[in-house]
Chain A
Amino acid sequence: MIKLQHVAMSYGGKELLSDMSLSLAPGSFHFLTGPSGAGKTTFLKLCYAELLPSTGQLTLFGKDALGMTRDDIAGIRQRIGVVHQDCQFLEHLSVEENVALPMTVSRRPVNAGELHELLGWVGLKHRREALPAQLSGGERQRAALARAIIMSPDVILADEPTGNLDWEMSLRLLSLLTELNRMGKTVVIATHDLNLIRQAKAQVSARVLRIANRRLQHAGADL
């Protein structure tokens, strides 16, 4: 699905990530940890081709990322749902319109019933006409998750999704992600919250990846 072979990433002459090799299998659940500034976000950006490797090979759904056109990358992103810490909403659109955005940009018809069902699943049915600025931190993250999964992607990448949430809301978001994993989705969560990782142990078989000194270390054991 997503495969990195000896991938390195440099920016401005400085190497941010070195010799990374990893293969994300379908239906797997990974936590990506490491100190702030270790390169977790850079790693995730490689996974959805916002950044391309300086050296090594990155394969997304069987295609070499370096050989992809911009349209190819757009197609890949319709198969990868991304949840950012800052959510990246279009602030002038309602929650409902933001959640439906991946359908809109791919020119697919939006089924109102399914959309409302999805909003209900993340607990935002009553907030569907609100603007993003009117949402709380937890509501924003859940809306971002709903947007990430509306196209039923194969992979969900979440970058510090609980960074601004209280513990109760973090657990709620985690349970949504583990439920998606049980549906067969591949999930990668970048976080430095070890309590969250421990909590996930009870719900799902997850592997932990750690970025330290620019390299990927496989913790190996299931939590």
Chain B
Amino acid sequence: MRAPLSLLKSERPGADRVVPPTGFTARLTLLTAAAMAFLAVFALALSLATGRLADRWADSLARSATIRISAPPDQMEAQVAAVLAVLKTTPGVASDRVLGNDEMKDLLKPWFGPDLPVDALPLPKLIAVTETNTGIDSEGLRLRLQAEAPGAVFDDHTRWRRPLVAAAERLRLLGLMSLVLIFGAMAGMITLAAQAALAANGQVIATLRLVGARDTFIARAFVRRFTLRGLAGAGLGVLLGMAAMAALPSANEAGGFLTGLGFSGWGWFWPLIIPPVAAIVAYGATRFAAARMLRRIR
């Protein structure tokens, strides 16, 4: 990190000017760094959002469970009472609540519409259970329910929670992989641009060698320039990316995951690490290109 930082201050005005300005490679590097940083902001946002989602699903669903009671109408009240009695004596239960008809109607609304006659349908009763941090012994509770209320089925959401959390984790991983690929592509592009600049300045390098310049001096002149271009381009890309993220609709229930894609709170500071990382990538890529090229010119 010390080397890229020391590059930012020029030791002498003349030393910085030995390489002539090259418009094409300068623009290419700036544009590449800006575009990649812009994409990196989105990849970072995706990673953070999916991370938040995975945490939320893992946390909230892990501490909730449902008991469904399917019984003939004349036995329903008795089985509900039996289940509630069992829950009262079950360790790890923080609270329980029988869902009313209105809540059932809300749950079924997406499938049957708003005018569903819940009273006329032989629907099961649902009891929402909230667990304490210690959790419930699921197998023990299932056995007790089987004995006390044969129509009751305990569902701790494991079956569908796991794939959801796994999907969110995969998305987070994909976001991080995208970041790695974006910086890899940036390194490749900057290496090519640096090679083009070095090749275009073959006569300059020959002259510098003629007057006794060491490889480190020549490489430094190119590396400093490309590092600063990478930094400036990435800064621009991050600004544009953050503006685009700010313009996304704010998170709400109806939008679900998509509207929660942006940054929140301290998360807005994360994109600020992209320009320094881009500068380090540009530094490494140009050093590599310069070392390879200078080895070939005597």
Give the B-binding residues of A (Cβ under 8 A): 48-51, 70-71, 73-78, 82, 84, 88-93, 97, 100-102, 104-107, 110, 147, 151
Q: Which of B82-90, B171-179, B206-214 contacts its partner?
A: B206-214
> How far apart are B12's CB and chain A's nearest CB, in angstroms?
7
B207 touches which of A48, A76, A88 (Cβ 8 Å)? A88
* Cβ contact within 8 Å between B203 and A78: no
Interface string of B154-193 (1 = CB under 8 A from A): 0000000000000000000000000000000000000000
CA distance A49 to B21 in the complex (A): 29
13 residue pairs of the A-B complex, CB under 8 angstroms, read A50-B209, A50-B298, A70-B215, A70-B298, A71-B214, A76-B212, A77-B212, A88-B207, A102-B211, A104-B12, A105-B214, A106-B213, A110-B14
Least CB separation from B14: chain A residue: A104
Q: In the assembled complex, how far is the CB of residue B297 from the closest CB belonging to chain A, in whole angstroms?
A: 10
The reply to whether B15 and A88 form a contact with Cβ atoms under 8 Å apart is no
A-B pairs, top 9 by smallest CB distance, nearest first, are: A78-B212, A105-B213, A77-B212, A92-B20, A102-B211, A74-B214, A104-B14, A88-B207, A74-B212
Complex CA gap A49/B18 in Å reads 23
* Nearest chain B CB to A205 CB, angstrom units: 29
User: In the complex, what's the smallest C-beta–C-beta distance from A167 to chain B, in angstroms?
Assistant: 28
**Contact for B209 among A74, A106, A151, CB less than 8 A:** A74
By the criterion CB–CB under 8 Å, are A107 and B11 in contact?
yes
Choose among A50, A100, A151 the residue that contacts B212 (Cβ–Cβ < 8 A). Answer: A151
Report yes or no: A90 in contact with B207, Cβ–Cβ below 8 A.
yes
Picked from B21, B204, B298, the residue with its CB within 8 Å of the CB of A90 is B204
Q: What are the residues of chain A within 8 A of B57 when measuring CB–CB?
A: none
Closest to B21 in A: A92
Given A93-B18, A101-B18, A104-B14, answer yes or no on A82-B210 (Cβ-Cβ < 8 Å).
Answer: yes
Cβ–Cβ < 8 Å partners of A147 in chain B: 211
Within 8 A of A (CB), among B1-26: 11-12, 14-15, 17-18, 20-21
Contact B212 A105 (CB under 8 A): yes
Q: Is B288 an interface residue (CB 8 A)?
A: no
Cα distance A72–B294 in the bound complex, in angstroms: 15
A37 to chain B, nearest CB (A): 21
- On whether A100 and B14 interact (CB within 8 A), knowing A77-B211, A105-B213, A106-B212, the answer reads yes
For A77, what are the chain B residues with a Cβ–Cβ distance below 8 Å? 209-212
User: Which B residues lie within 8 Å of A84 (CB)?
Assistant: 210
Tell me the bound Cα distance from A99 to B213 in angstroms: 14
Select which of B11, B18, B203, B294 is within 8 A of A105 by beta carbon: B18
Point out the residues of chain A lying under 8 angstroms from B211, CB to CB: 77-78, 101-102, 105, 147
**B2 → chain A, closest Cβ, in Å?**
18
Q: How far is the CA of A48 from the CA of B12 in the complex (A)?
A: 27
Chain A residues with CB under 8 A of B207: 88-90, 101
Contacts of A90 in B (CB 8 A): 18, 20, 204, 207
Given pairs A90-B207, A92-B17, A97-B14, 19 additional interface contacts (CB within 8 A) = A49-B298, A50-B210, A50-B298, A70-B214, A75-B212, A77-B212, A78-B211, A88-B203, A88-B207, A92-B20, A93-B18, A104-B12, A105-B18, A105-B208, A105-B212, A105-B213, A107-B12, A147-B211, A151-B212
| Chain A residue contacts of B206, Cβ below 8 A | 88
Q: How far is the CB of A14 from chain B (nearest CB, A)?
A: 19
Contact partners of B215 in chain A: CB under 8 A: 70-71, 74
Which chain B residues border A75 with CB–CB below 8 Å? 212
Closest to A84 in B: B210
A92: chain B residues within 8 A (beta carbon): 17, 20-21
* Chain B nearest CB, measured from A100 CB (Å): 7
The B202-242 residues at the A interface (CB cut-off 8 A) are 203-204, 206-215, 217
The answer on a CB contact under 8 Å between A105 and B217 is yes
CB-CB under 8 A from B210, the residues of chain A are 48, 50, 77, 82, 84, 88
Contact call A104/B15, Cβ cutoff below 8 A: yes
Provide the bound-state CA to CA distance between A161 and B204, in Å: 20
Chain B: CB-nearest residue to A93: B17
Chain B residues near A88 (CB-CB < 8 A): 203, 206-207, 210
Chain B nearest CB, measured from A28 CB (Å): 22
Q: Which residues of B contact A106 (CB under 8 A)?
A: 212-213
Complex-state Cα separation, A84 to B203, whole angstroms: 13
List, in ascending order, chain B residues with CB within 8 A of A50's CB: 209-210, 298
- Residues of B close to A100: CB separation below 8 A: 14
Q: Which residues of A contact B298 (CB under 8 A)?
A: 49-51, 70, 73
Residues of B within 8 A of A71 (CB): 214-215
- Give Cα A36–Cα B12 distance, bound, in whole angstroms: 42
> Hey, which chain A residues are within 8 Å of B203, CB to CB?
88
